[in-house]
Amino acid sequence: MTGGVGYIGSHIAVALVEHGYTPVLLDNLSRSDDSIPDRINELCGFNVPLYKTDCRDRDGLRKLLDAEGGVDGVIHLAAYKSVGESVKIPLTYFDNNISAMTALLDIMVSERLNNLVFSSSCTVYGVPDHREVTEKTPFGNAFSPYGFTKQACERLMADVARSEPWMRQVSLRYFNPIGAHPSGKLGELPGGVPDNLIPYVTQTAAGQRDHITIFGSDYDTPDGTCVRDYVHVCDVAEAHVRALNYVSESDIALDTFNIGTGRGHSVKEIIDIFRRVNKTEVRSEEGPRRPGDVDAIYANVDKASATLGWTSKYTVEEALKHAWEWQKSL
């Protein structure tokens, strides 16, 4: 699994072990905390193999395969993921995210390695015509370089599916992963100022930030703030395991699934729920809109339910409680 020490990757590693898999992690640790591998090992009950290699390094990928004697499948998460940062340094995002996918697919084709699960994103939909999106919703104009890299990677997968019909690939377009492992031993550790809502909320509650700015309060939503589909990170991890099972057992060349809860919550709702379930205050202020933010978007997850047998299990309340427990443990 590439990006195996990141926020989502670390939770997937634990879920894989719970389902009888033995994960092998690859991560260059450029955006990971040094404590996470030990936390993964503690939850898994053994030292999970970790290769400190950049996913763009083809020789490093081959050395991993040689050392492990081959692998049964690949979960690819290694990517930079900040929308705002990608606007500032687009070439870095193109080089890292697209080049990593290119190198990985190149190795998988040359080694005849099957079964790929790709970490995509709802950003591929851009600004959709309808707030509820299905897998048939067309790609919109990417409103950030980050979103474009996810579209480009999915295009690479589709082209490889046509040129190498023996390959089996699944793309998971997940919405807004939040929360932390219920044990409190794994969670989101953003470097610097958080780009995502929940870490900013928890850091504000912990006193590390003076307040959280709500970007825009005049959107066409019930309370004027943006609406998003927030899904627990452990549910996202479970979806990857289900997708790996599916791609390993099916004969489909390429498939795509939305991963979300199927309903949206506004920014104000999330902050209010966090205050209520954790009995703590979070100071918030209203600010101007951010360029590129859409009013509302949430997932139709019927396909994932019917084909993968997957639905989200955790509530938003549980996710926000777990996120706060994780923050307090740091």
Q: Can 146 be counted among the known catalytic residues?
A: yes
Where are the alpha helices (H) located in 19-82, listed in sequence order?
36-44, 58-68
Return the closest-CA partner of residue 133 out of 294, 319, 292: 294
Q: Per DSSP, which regions of 216-300 are E strands? A: 227-228, 230-232, 254-259, 265-266, 284-287, 298-299
Catalytic-role residue among 125, 146, 174, 314: 146
Q: Give Cα 5 to chain centroid, integer Å.
A: 12
Q: Per DSSP, which regions of 248-313 are E strands? A: 254-259, 265-266, 284-287, 298-299
The Cα 82–Cα 62 span in angstroms is: 29
Type of residue found at 98: I
- What's the start-to-end Cα distance of the chain, in Å? 26
Region class of 189: left (phi > 0), else alpha (psi between -120 and 50), else beta: beta
The Cα 140–Cα 121 span in angstroms is: 13
Residues annotated catalytic, as ranges: 146
